[in-house]
Amino acid sequence: AQPGAAQPVPAPMRDLVWGKLNFLHTTDTHGWHAGHLQEPQYSADWGDYVSFAEHMRAKADRDGVDLLLVDTGDRVEGNGLYDASDPKGKYYYDIYREQAVDLICTGNHELYVASTADREHQRTVPNFRQNYIASNLDYVDPESGERMPMAQRYRKFQTKNQKLDVVAFGFLFDFTGNANNTVVQPVEETVQEQWFQDAIREEADVFVVIGHVGVHMPEFRTIFRAIRKQNPLAPILFFGGHVHVRDATAYDSRSFAVASGRYFETIGWMSVDGELERTAHSEDADFSFHRRYIDNNLVGLHYHTGLNESTFPTEHGRNVSAMITKARDELKLDQTFGCAPKTLWMSRSPYPGKDSIYSWLENEVLPDVAVNSSRGDVPRLVILNTGAIRFDIFKGPFTRDTTYIVSPFLSAFTYIPNVPYRIARKVIKLLNSAGKIMESGPMDNRFMAIPEQLVIHEDIVHESPAADAYADAFGQKPLGGSAEKRPRLTEGYTTKDDIGSDGDDTVHAPVNFYVVPNCVQAEVEFPTDGEPETVDLVFLDFITPWVLMALRLLGGEYSQKDVQPYIEGTLTGLMTGWIEKNWPKDC
């Protein structure tokens, strides 16, 4: 872990179940490779993961089974370690490559901005040349204009110890927001391509599909159906992501799919056991699948390896942790802009509410920063999509790192001047409508909100979410402390997926999740009496297509040419400026 990172505390644990073929999985790490310095439960860093994987591989070798490492994209955007350098990722690419990832693919965040996609192609693809898979993604060379596969379309290889034949694919969901130096082919089309049809006819003991795709998204079903049609008896394993949740499902009795959360809070574990060799595949062959969501902290990593503080870190792992410390120092990520007077939550506290980050933005920040000096006294509606905010603000120092953690995007405020208020006032309602109007495809309203809400549609409020709940440690091993003296449970994930509610490796007290609207809105410079005739409609550029669509549905004929820049700077910069001005400097 990084110097100064919060110390994890012991908790009741569930063991990993090993099989013949085992996997460790990361997804949506978004630059959090230093770990969560303020959250003990997720405070291990990428160097610790390197040590962990080395010990787990050694165990696999000793036991004659196999272990593969998977990463399913969105490695960038969302943490100072990636975002704070110029160019972005100056340190991240060299840190990330130190992990021996066997199967890796691209997420949408590697593609929003052309220069990010260029760097993915120039750095990460060659770093993982044999292992990077891009089944439905092309890259356009900036010099020649030539369109080429981002990486190999699929990978066929043999596992180290059992020589199992694996055919692996690497997909991205049907993403349409990519920069124009990449092309994402819809999954429905890809599975009809000749190369794919040939690949699923290769001799395989196991098919592995990794993808930046939620395990309940239709894209994985499409791939599953295509492979299964040709291979009725083979095990098919899916590793997904994008939705930022811990999740698992099975598409049939010979398939299994797992998604491993977000922000390097989770290291996913999947194992499959049974007669895996294709010669043994039969109607009667029984495969067993297990999944575990490992909280990324040293107490847990020691537990799963049976090691301790002195025996756990490998030389390689220590060196990677040191690379991260050096990068964080050089990037001055601990530089403080202000001291947050209290914790502001995205989903753990209701909106609107005194502890909601969105209420804080709506009531305090937006009215103050969304000001165009030449139109300062014009009444305006300022709309922010909730997905623009990526993480909670914890009470205490708000640092350079926090700015990117909370708001990594380069989104700026744009506006349409003088929109009749009778139309403008209804826009927010349409943007927040539960999907009746713009409900699917790239214009799905939910793409404006946080990714978790693609699968969580209602509040999850526990009767006693507080930290004073105690373990029902029956059948679980207390880690540190006897059964009589059970440890107090820490708050954390209490995942329920299609497999059950025993997926998390650590037994936690539950936390609440309150659904938030797709967008929030501040009314600024409104007359004290009556309504304005017209208003400036101000919004983040990311949601322009939805705003134009909403206006059109309300009878306002506006197009992209009516949308103008409102103020200079990004939401991130403006928010940080507000914090510098309004919160105390020292904590």
Binding site for ligand L45E5XJ5 (CB under 6 A): 28, 74, 108-109, 112, 242, 385, 387-388, 409, 411, 447-449, 451, 542
The structure tokens listed for 409 are 């995007």
Is the CB of residue 471 less than 8 Å from the CB of residue 478?
Answer: yes
The secondary structure of 500-563 as a DSSP string is: BS--BSB--B---B----SEEEEEES--SSS--SEEEEEEEGGGHHHHHHHHHHTT----GGG-
Q: What is the 3-state secondary structure (H, E, C) of 255-297?
A: EEEEEECCCCCEEEEEEEECCCCHHHCCCCCCCEEEEEEEECC
For residue 496, how many other CB atoms are within 10 A of its CB? 13
Nearest-angstrom CA–CA distance, 454 and 481: 39
CB of 280 to ligand L45E5XJ5, least distance (A): 39
**Quick one: 207 or 360, whose CB is closer to ligand L45E5XJ5?**
360
CB of 4 to ligand L45E5XJ5, least distance (A): 27
Nearest-angstrom CA–CA distance, 234 and 285: 10
Half-sphere exposure at residue 364, Cβ-oriented, CA atoms within 13 angstroms? 19
CB of 30 to ligand L45E5XJ5, least distance (A): 7
Q: Residue 157: enclosing H or E segment and its boundaries?
A: strand 154-158
CB of 177 to ligand L45E5XJ5, least distance (A): 7
**Quick one: 107 or 503, whose CB is closer to ligand L45E5XJ5?**
107
CB of 543 to ligand L45E5XJ5, least distance (A): 8
CB of 106 to ligand L45E5XJ5, least distance (A): 11
The closest of 218, 293, 223 to 497, measured between CA atoms, is: 293
**Quick one: 248 or 449, whose CB is closer to ligand L45E5XJ5?**
449
> Which SS3 state, helix, strand or coil, does residue 447 take?
helix
User: Which residue number has the CB closest to ligand L45E5XJ5?
Assistant: 387
Is the CB of residue 231 less than 8 Å from the CB of residue 248?
Answer: no
The structure tokens listed for 491 are 């708050």
**Quick one: 179 or 511, whose CB is closer to ligand L45E5XJ5?**
179
**Quick one: 376 or 442, whose CB is closer to ligand L45E5XJ5?**
442
Within 8 A by CB and 6+ apart from 27, the residues are 71, 72, 73, 74, 107, 212, 239, 240, 241, 242, 259, 260, 261, 262, 268
The closest of 100, 131, 96, 79 to 320, measured between CA atoms, is: 96
**Quick one: 159 or 445, whose CB is closer to ligand L45E5XJ5?**
445
CB of 104 to ligand L45E5XJ5, least distance (A): 17
C-alpha distances in angstroms, 303 versus 8, 52, 310, 312?
Answer: 12, 11, 13, 10
The structure tokens listed for 430 are 């349409």
> Which SS3 state, helix, strand or coil, does residue 192 take?
coil
The closest of 390, 391, 392, 383 to 414, measured between CA atoms, is: 383
Instruction: Tell me: cis bond preceding 451? Omega within 30 of 0 counts.
Output: no
**Quick one: 104 or 167, whose CB is closer to ligand L45E5XJ5?**
104
**Quick one: 98 or 247, whose CB is closer to ligand L45E5XJ5?**
247
Task: Give the alpha-carbon dihedral of 241, 243, 249, 255, to 10 degrees.
Answer: -30
**Quick one: 276 or 393, whose CB is closer to ligand L45E5XJ5?**
393
**Quick one: 96 or 542, whose CB is closer to ligand L45E5XJ5?**
542
The structure tokens listed for 516 are 């938030």
**Quick one: 116 or 372, whose CB is closer to ligand L45E5XJ5?**
116
Let me know if 559 is exposed, middle or buried by CB neighbors in 10 A (0-12, 13-18, 19+): exposed
CB of 74 to ligand L45E5XJ5, least distance (A): 5
> Which SS3 state, helix, strand or coil, does residue 164 take?
coil
CB of 540 to ligand L45E5XJ5, least distance (A): 7
**Quick one: 74 or 98, whose CB is closer to ligand L45E5XJ5?**
74
CB of 345 to ligand L45E5XJ5, least distance (A): 17
**Quick one: 92 or 409, whose CB is closer to ligand L45E5XJ5?**
409
**Quick one: 2 or 124, whose CB is closer to ligand L45E5XJ5?**
124
Taking each helix axis from N to C end, the angle separating 544-553 and 421-431, rounded to the nearest 10 degrees, works out to: 120
Instruction: Identify how many contiguous H helices and E strands the chain contains and give both numbers.
Output: 16, 21
CB of 98 to ligand L45E5XJ5, least distance (A): 23
Let me know if 3 is exposed, middle or buried by CB neighbors in 10 A (0-12, 13-18, 19+): exposed
Backbone CA torsion sign across 73, 77, 79, 80:
positive
CB of 147 to ligand L45E5XJ5, least distance (A): 24
CB of 386 to ligand L45E5XJ5, least distance (A): 7
CB of 216 to ligand L45E5XJ5, least distance (A): 14
